[in-house]
Structure 1
Amino acid sequence: MATETTLYLVRHGLAGEHGSYANDNERPLTEAGQQKTRQVAHRLADLSLKFDLILTSPLVRARQTAEILMDVGLGQQLEEFSPLAPNGRIEDWVGWFSSWKPGKTGCLALVGHEPGLSTWAETLIWGEAKGAIALKKAGVMGLLLPKTGSPVGHSQLFWLTPPRFLLG
C-alpha cells in the first residue's frame, strides 16, 4: 500500500563568507551557524520529527548541517546526494525518489542550498519554478508528496518557517 511521504527541505546554516575559500565546496558553517542550526534541530526534535533518511548535498556546510540533525536524533540514516549541490537537477532526485521505500515515519529530509531548495519546492508544488519562495539559512520547509504518481506539480506546501520562529 502506498503511503504519503512528508518531505522536509532544510537549508544549511550560516557559513563562512562567500569567496573566503579557494574551493567554495569546502566552506564550513561558522560557530554561530553551528549554534543556530543546533538550536533549530533541537526544536524540530521537540516537535517529534523523525526522518527515515536525510539526504545531503556533499558540500561541507550542508554535510555539517545534516550531521547536526543526526546528532540530535532527528535521523536514522544519512547519505550524500550530489544533485543537492548547487545547480543540481530535480529530475535526478525525482528518479531516485520513485524507487525510494519510506521507513516507518514516511519522512525524508533534504539538506541543501538556495536557490535550489526553493526551486525544487516550487517545481514540486506548481510544476515549475516561479521565484516566489525563499528559504532562510537553517530554515525548514515541509511538503506533502502524493501517495502515487509523480510528485512534480502534485505536492502540497504545509510548512515554511525561518529559523527565528523555531528559536527560543
Structure 2
Amino acid sequence: MEVYFIRHGIAEEQQTGIKDEERKLTKEGKQKTEKVAQRLQELGLQFDLIVTSPLVRARQTAEILLATGLSSQLEESNHLAPNGHISNWLDYWLQPKNFDQNTQLALVGHEPCLSNWAEILLWGEAKGGLVLKKAGMIGVKVPEVGSPVGRSQMFWLTPPRYLL
C-alpha cells in the first residue's frame, strides 16, 4: 500500500471570531492547490481513496483533489484532525481486510501531525526531521505484512514549489 500524506493548502490566518476548524483556504491557497492537483494528475497519480480531516481547509483541499480527478472517492475521518493519533488510525485503516497491497491512499490533514505520522512509519518515532509545506506531499510505501511502524519506505517528498 502507498500512503500519500498531503497537507492542506494556504488557509486564512487565525483570528478572533473564527474558530480554527472553520478557517478556509485563501484565494491563493485554492489557486496553488489546484495547480498542484493538476500537476499530480499530469504525473499519472490516482488515489483509490482520499481521506480528509473534518476541518474546513483540509476538506476544501481534498475536494480540489477530487475535482481534479485524482480519485472518485472521498471520506472524512476525525483521526486526521489536529488532535488525531496514528495508533488509532493504524488500527483501522491499515488492516488487510480494508485495503489490499496495491491501494493508493491519500490522507489530507495538518502539520505537524502528517509529518510526524510519516516519521513514525519510517523510523518508529517522530523525530521532527520532516517538514510538510502547505499543499506538499510525502509518499510512504507500507510493507505488505507486519506492523508498518519503523518498517515503511519513503518514496516521495515534494514541496509544492516543485509542482507549480
State the TM-score, normalizing by the size of structure 1: 0.93
1:96 CA drift (Å): 1.1
* Distance in 1 of aligned mates of 2:70 and 2:100: 14
Aligned position for 2:110: 113
Q: Given that residues 57 and 83 in structure 1 are in contact (C-alpha distance below 8 angstroms), is that contact kept between their aligned partners in structure 2?
A: yes
3-state DSSP of counterpart to 1:142? strand
SS in 2 for 1:76: coil
In structure 1, what is the equivalent of residue 155 of structure 2?
Answer: 158
The count of aligned residue pairs is 163
Q: What is aligned with 1:149?
A: 146
8 Å contact kept, 1:12–1:61: yes
Q: CA deviation at 1:105?
A: 5.3
Q: Which moved more, 1:39-48 or 1:101-110?
A: 101-110
- Whichever residue aligns with residue 70 of structure 1, its letter is L
1:56 corresponds to 2:29? no
Alignment partner, residue 37 of structure 2 = 41
Bigger drift between 12-21 and 117-126 goes to 12-21
Q: Measure the CA separation in 2 of the matches of 1:94 and 1:103.
A: 14
Structure 2, unmatched stretches of 5+, are none
Q: CA deviation at 1:104?
A: 9.3
Amino acid at match of 2:144: K
Give the SS at the match of 1:123.
Answer: helix
Where structure 1 has 5 or more consecutive residues not aligned to the other structure, the ranges are none
- Out of 98, 121, 127, the residue aligned to residue 101 of structure 1 is 98
C-alpha contact (below 8 Å) 1:52/1:103 kept by paired residues: no
Is the 8 Å Cα contact of residues 6 and 108 (structure 1) preserved in structure 2? yes
Moved over 6 A (4+): none
How many percent of aligned residue pairs carry the same amino acid? Answer: 58
Q: Using the alignment, how far apart are the partners of 2:107 and 2:17 within structure 1?
A: 25
Aligned to 2:137: 140
SS at match of 1:8: strand
SS in 2 for 1:44: helix
Amino acid at match of 2:103: G
Shift of 1:98: 3.1
